Amino acid sequence: MRTFLLRNLAGWVALVALAWGPVGAPPARAQGGATVAAARAPRAYTRSGHLMGSHFTFTAVSADDSLAWRALRAGMRETQRIDHLFSYWDSTSQVVKINRMAGVRPVVVDQEVYDLIARTLKISALTGGAFDATFASGDKIYTFDRQAHPALPDSATVRRSVARIGWEKVRMDPATHAVYLPEKGMRLNLAGVLQGYGVRRAQALMKQMGIAGGLINGSGDVYCWGKQADGSGWRIAIGDPARPRTVSSWLTVSDMAVVTAGNYEQYFTVNGTYYGHIINPHTGYPATGLRSVTIICPDVELADALDDAVFVLGPQAGLALVNRLKGVDCTLITDDGQTLVSRGMQLNSYHSAAPAAAKP
C-alpha cells in the first residue's frame, strides 16, 4: 500500500490518498530477457516536486512508461508556468504588476490571468465575500505561533486591518483585459485558488497526452481521474484533526476533486480559546467554529476556493451554501469534534459515530 499524506497552505492537513499496487516498478522479464505479457498491464508512475511553495505529487497510470514519464514532466512544467504567471512573490508575475500599480493605473494582463481573476470575483459574489482574493490588502496583526497570547488585538486595530480588503472594488475591463486596484495598498493574492487551478491545468494536459488515469496532489488539493492500475477507484481518506495523521473517514472517487483546509497547524490561543489562521475578511478576526473543511466536486479550482469560504461562513451557513450548489458536497469537522456532511455526501466512517446529516 502506498500512502500520500497531503499538505496545504496551512501546513500538514489530514487528508490521505490510499493507492494500492506497484509504483514505477520495472517490468517483469521472462527467461532469455523477453518481457512477459503482464508487463504491458497499466502501472502507476509517480513524481514529486516543490512547486508553488508546496509539495506536489503527480501520479500517472499507463501501460507505456515513456508516455507516463513525459506526461509527468509536462504536468510539472505546466504548474511551474502557472506559478510564474500568477505568483504573489515573483517580482515578474502579472499579479505583482497589478499590485504595484494599485491606486495608480490599470494593468493589461494576459487573457488567462484576466479570466482567473474574473472567476475569483464570481466566487466572491457567490460566497458573499467569504472568499476574497484581496485578502492580502489586510494588515498582518496576528502571529500564529501555537503559543498562548494574553489577548486579541483591540477592536480598532482589527477594523483598520481589513479596511482595504474588498473584492467588489476590483475593476475589470473585458475589452482591454485590464485589471485595476483603485486604492493604494490594495493587493491581489490568488493563493486561495491558484493550487487548484494549477492541478486542473496539469491534469487536463496529462489527460490530453493520453493518461487515462491518475492523481495529482497539489499541497492538499487533490484531483483524481480514471482508475488505479488494478482497475479500482481512488480511495481518499479524511484525517482527524484531534489525532494528527490519523483517519476519521474515507470515500472512493474518480474524476473528482477532494480539497481540504484545516486551521489546526497555524494557530494561537487566548484564555484557552483556539484561534486558527483563516481570517474572516469582513471582520478581521480568525474564523471560528470549524477545524476542518473538505470539499468534493468535479472542479478542483472551485473546490480550492470553497474550502476557505465555508471555513469563514462557519458550520451552518457553510453547509447551507454547499447544499445550494449542484454537484458539490462537503464534510466538516467542528471545533467540538462533530462531523457534519452535506445532503449528497456519503462517507465511510472509521469511527463508531456516524456523520451528522446536514439540515436543509
Other beta carbons within 10 Å of 159: 12
**Which three cell numbers mark 104?**
495608480
Dist. CA 256–CA 295, nearest whole Å = 10
Element at 117 (helix H, strand E): helix 111-126
Determine contact, residues 36/53, Cβ cutoff 8 Å: no
> Would you say 44 and 59 are in contact if contact means Cβ atoms under 8 Å apart?
yes
DSSP-assigned beta bridge partners for residue 11:
8
Query: Residue 258 and residue 11: Cα distance in Å, rounded?
Result: 17
Q: How many helices (H) and strands (E) does the chain have?
A: 7, 20
Exposure pattern of 327-360 as b/e (b: 16+ CB <10 Å)? ebbbbbbbbeeebbbbeebebeeeeeeebeebee
304 is in an annotated binding site: yes
Nearest to 342 by CA among 329, 332, 356: 329
Taking CA atoms, 182 is separated from 115, 126, 131, 298, in Å, by 19, 22, 20, 35
Residue type, 195: Q
- 210 known member of a binding site: no
Distances from the Cα of 128 to the Cα of 8, 54, 65, 245, angstroms: 24, 29, 47, 33
Amino acid identity of 257? Answer: A
Helix or strand run (H / E) with residue 35: none
Binding residues: 192, 304
Binding residues for Mg(2+): 192, 304
